Amino acid sequence: MSDSTAVATAPEGILDPGQRGQRRRTLAVVGVLLGVAVLGFVLWRGSSMVFYVVMSWFVALAMEPAVARLTRWMPRAAATATVMLSLLLGIGAFLWLFGSLLVDQLTALVTAVPGIASDVLEQVNRATGSEYTYDNLLEQAGISPSDLSGYAQNVAFGVLGFLTALLGAFFGIFVVAFFVFYISVGMPRLRLWLAGRMSPRVQVPFLTAWDLAKVKVGNYIAARVVLAAVNAAASSVAFFLLDLPYWLALALWTGLVAQFIPNIGTYVSIALPVLVGLTSGDPWLGLWVLVYGIAYQQVENLTIEPRISAKAVDVHPAVSFGAALLGAQLFGLSGALMGVPLAATIMAMLEIYQRRHEVSAETEERVAALVAPRVDPEAEEPELPALAEARAARHEADGADDRER
């Protein structure tokens, strides 16, 4: 027998622990990549259905205050059906009473836009003594006649696309209504079912985020809808009494824009009726519309809105405006509507779970010393009072220890 030591080798087909760990990591990475690819494909191909589900959830949250009140006297399914039927009957009654008038006024208003623009330009020339024309303005803006024809062609295709989208919207409305009903009916069970699939440590932040979203989103949308209806109703009465042209279309414009565009919506909404009044042949009509807009805004801010929006979102104006713009760029009009309550929910979560650190006076003194310009660049950095006191106390303690020794 040879004196050489026999080396034990693993049987063929059996991996050592290191190879098995590497194999598991490789399979895990491949699985994650496949999952991300499948999720991206589903979101890409089924983006419209995902959008319908998300919108249905938001609409169900908006209905939640009314549904929750009705559940005291009836089952939740009956309460949800009652709220949805009430909305349907209200919209149907409005269209039955004012649908034809609204369409006629919208058509006339769109047709009158060139004339309104011409009247505005004429009044500007008369007031400033200038002689601006459309050609001069287009030339200064760098727009050529060929560009205008291209814009007109795009508008024509846009109108056709709008009509096509309008036909497809009926199917979307049916799908959203279907999901809204079942999400609203099963919302309490859905909340508990989702929370039950999580660990107790994760359940608290999840349920907190759910309840905050229900309060913020539901109250915000419900308050905006009620305020828009009140604003549109009051504006329609005022514009009708003032004999403002296109009074119904402008009243709806005023109510919707004032409530669903944060911060600047009030000014944008009243600007169009004022402009129509100024160019209607009686400039005093535009002034009276402006007076009404200012008066109504004061009444709404002092009496109506505090009662309706008492539990709605409280977000900084800059944050709400930015959230609405970001939501509009991502998801269009519905995204602009949902951006503000989502931002309020995120900020409320941060207020609950973020860790706060107080800024001490010592920190402020150190920052001031670093920012303040030095008279002599070669001079040493001045010592802060708090640091000087700490250094003196340490020297005294060291001296006391030396004396004891």
pLDDT 10s digits, 319-330: 777 877 787 777
What percentage of the chain exceeds 70 in pLDDT? 66
Q: What is the rounded distance in angstroms from the CA atom of residue 351 to the CA atom of residue 371?
A: 31
* pLDDT tens string 77-124: 999 999 989 988 888 887 787 667 667 766 776 676 666 667 676 777
Residue 386 has pLDDT above 60, yes or no: no
CA dihedral 247, 250, 252, 255 (to 10 degrees): -120
Residue 310 has pLDDT above 50, yes or no: yes
CB 231 within 8 A of CB 257: no
The full set of domain ranges for the chain reads 198-355
Token pair 């907190």: residue: 208
pTM of the entire predicted model: 0.62
Secondary structure string (H, E, C) spanning 105-171: HHHHHHHHHHHHHHHHHHHHHHHHCCCCCHHHHHHHCCCCHHHHHHHHHHHHHHHHHHHHHHHHHHH
Task: Return the pLDDT at 82.
Answer: 92
Residue 349 burial class via C-beta count within 10 angstroms: exposed 0-12, middle 13-18, buried 19 and up: middle
* pLDDT tens string 19-52: 666 777 788 888 888 888 888 887 777 777 877 8
Task: Return the pLDDT at 159.
Answer: 47
* Residue 41 to residues 25, 27, 37, 45, 48, Cα–Cα distance (Å): 24, 21, 6, 6, 13
Residue 1 has pLDDT above 50, yes or no: no
* pLDDT tens string 282-305: 778 888 989 998 898 888 878 877
